[in-house]
Chain A
């Protein structure tokens, strides 16, 4: 089997996000970066599949060379190798990212499964996996909380976290899966694995290599703003005071 994992680098989700003075972009001065948490779930899922099915796990990142550090962290978790497609974040929208991933899929050949995170926690788009599946004409199982691959790797049975409960569907492989939080707990890389990861290859490609010549964005960011802050109210001293205020002031009871 061959499993591709779309692995995105994002600004540390616990960091305070600030805009540049002119409000045109997020201020990236002295910010820390991390792998998108859902991409770590995606990679962990791929590694577990590899342990059972003898699969090669390949990381795919679209980004500049400063994303190599995050890619190495993914390689240290256990991926065999990585492909980085040289395009900067500001030149991407979800649609172009999906078309690039589709081109990587075709370039690689023999891919059984493409696993992505359900959502990148910077743009919060939750759409690249679905777009990719449609561009490739493949079935999708999004928001996965459990994956079982049958013995001959022809089908994946996937439990999906959906409104109102858990849905289980089966998709014929090759297919696209996006990972939700409860799918697994990503492993920590051990020191020897971190050393080993330094020798693994990151193949760098550009859009010409992949034959992606339409780089027009479908969605353009016009401006960014800080949303208005909610005004904090006051502390109450007792349950009685709280109930009285809810009844007489907020009038919500």
Chain B
């Protein structure tokens, strides 16, 4: 019997790729406890998302779909996920540790009387299901046990491979849920305009730090570099904190996003431990900083001690040429 439920993350009618990382954790748990997994979707008009979830080997795709769930709000979504968990008979409820998962999953845990494991990065070896999660800005790795019959887990997606499609159909099962009395209402969403890939899904990220002087200069320096590489642009907390032109959802680190792209280029970033917490699992790290003693060089595969203002234009041109 399936007893693991993965709640799909979606946006604007499309599945978020992080969901496939959450499925990988579900499969790892299933390998220890036996059984399989189900998928769950909550939203308003999410038939397309449910269709995208075909072919990953889920027992069923359970769907709560209705106008009451069109906009995300924590209270009705909690009720919906609890309804899905009941329907699936789930012992584990898993989703991604994006801002929606972080907002929603603890509430679900409280409603289910479940222990909540935040930001899981893997399972410990052995027969028992023991979760690993970083603490203290990644300075400490904790192995934790959930002592409750049910467990809710948010997944740090950059630490898991995405599940591959295995084919086959999973029956789509509609589940009724009542959002209940809601003491909150959605007002507006001010989307960060960007043609670039999303940070958490990008293969290449270029990140600028406070050494880039001010907001306009940040963009003038980073945009051409990102264009040359088809990269997403990240920032340090110092940058999003001080320069209004750089939105907060570009922040990478302990208290921002955690990323692990194939290539990460840090420009004028000092490499504070809180920043490293968000990027040190990147495959190849490049650091450009004028201070040879900057801590970023301690995690960089390739370090270039240089002035960013002189180097970036040259680097941008030569990267373009090298990529043809």
Contacts and interface: CB of A to CB of B under 8 A. Distances in A.
**Bind each other:** yes
A164 B187 contact: no
B188 A26 contact: no
A171 B181 CA distance: 12
B213 to A, nearest CB: 20
A223 B140 CA distance: 10
Nearest to A11: B136
A181 B98 CA distance: 17
A252 B119 CA distance: 28
A121 B134 CA distance: 11
B220 interface: no
A130 interface: yes
A175 B306 CA distance: 50
B118 A247 contact: no
B284 A250 contact: yes
Interface string A53-97: 000000000000000000000000000000000000000011100
Contacts of B109: 95, 127, 131
Interface string A152-187: 000001001111111111111001000011100000
Nearest to A38: B255
A110 B311 CA distance: 60
A130 B74 contact: yes
B178 to A, nearest CB: 15
A117 B114 CA distance: 22
Nearest to A37: B255
A253 B284 CA distance: 11
A134 B110 contact: yes
B299 interface: yes
Contacts, number: 260
Interface stretch (A42-50, A191-199, A205-213, A224-232): A224-232
Interface string B101-118: 011111101110011111
B196 interface: no
B188 A226 contact: no
Interface in B53-105: 73-75, 78, 98-100, 102-105
Nearest to B140: A224
A170 B187 contact: yes
A75 to B, nearest CB: 25
A130 B249 CA distance: 20
A1 interface: no
Interface string A89-107: 0000111001000000000
Nearest to B194: A164
A219 B99 contact: no
A220 B144 contact: yes
A236 B280 contact: no
B263 A26 contact: no
A118 B301 CA distance: 33
B300 to A, nearest CB: 6
B286 interface: yes
9 contacts: A118-B255, A133-B74, A157-B187, A165-B191, A168-B190, A220-B147, A227-B134, A230-B280, A238-B304
Interface of B: 11, 73-75, 78, 98-100, 102-107, 109-111, 114-119, 124, 130, 134-148, 182-192, 198, 200, 204, 237, 240-241, 247-249, 254-255, 257, 262-263, 273-274, 280, 283-286, 292, 297-306, 311, 314-315, 318-319, 322-323
Closest 3 CB pairs of A and B: A218-B115, A130-B106, A233-B301
Given A124-B118, A222-B143, 5 more contacts: A127-B102, A139-B74, A140-B74, A242-B286, A246-B302
